[in-house]
Amino acid sequence: MTIELTKEEKAQIINNHIKSLTYTKYNLEIDIIQENAKAAPVASSISAFEDQIEDIDGQILALNIKLTAVNALLA
């Protein structure tokens, strides 16, 4: 027996991944604020956070492209 996901189920899964990535991105933005608040911020830590944010932005973009394709499917 093969179970097919509906268009809505697929969209919900993708949206959940986007939401999770958005939470992670916001946490990294907070990490940058915290690091900058230190008496001696570590530049390499800030750079690592920024790199992770850039990666997340790419992942969100890819998921939005997939979401557009899923939404274009016939019901």
Q: 38: helix, coil or strand?
A: coil
Instruction: Find the mean pLDDT for residues 12-22.
Output: 98
What does the domain layout of the chain look like in residue ranges?
Answer: 7-34+43-72
pLDDT of residue 75: 56
What CA–CA distance (Å, rounded) separates 65 from 71?
A: 10
* Distances from the Cα of 48 to the Cα of 1, 39, 54, angstroms: 46, 19, 10
Judge whether 11 and 64 are in contact, CB under 8 Å: no
pLDDT tens-digit map of 34-63: 999 999 999 999 999 999 999 999 999 999
Q: Which residue has the tokens 């690592």?
A: 48
DSSP state of 40: S
- Helix residue spans in the chain (DSSP H): 7-37, 43-72
Supply the mean pLDDT for the chain: 96
